[in-house]
Amino acid sequence: SVEDLQAYMLGNLTEVMELLQQVNATTMARSETFATKVNLDHAWVLVCGFLVVFMQAGFSVLEAGSVSEKNLTNILFKNIMDMSMATLC
């Protein structure tokens, strides 16, 4: 009968709505997890960038100790230009 069909359709509609709510909750949890992973990736890239800058400073000190005093300015200028070009690229 029509009433049975309506009851059946209403029952299915309720089940579909519950399923959609579960999917929505799962999707929200996954997007929050994804956002956390992206933020951690960005933080890691920044930390690695800072380490590279300090490594460049260490190479400058090493090279400054390896050359004569008259070439010191040229070596330090070369290292500053190297870091500047790397930053721009």
Structure tokens belonging to residue 60:
């400058």
The pLDDT tens digits for 8-19 are: 767 777 787 888
The pLDDT tens digits for 14-33 are: 787 888 888 777 777 777 77
Residue 40 and residue 44: Cα distance in Å, rounded?
6
Residue 76 and residue 88: Cα distance in Å, rounded?
18
Describe the crossing of helices 2-66 and 72-88 by its angle, rounded to 10 degrees: 170
Task: Provide the Cα torsion 8, 14, 17, 23; round to 10°.
Answer: -90
- Output helix, strand, coil percentages for the chain, rounded to the nearest 5: 95, 0, 5
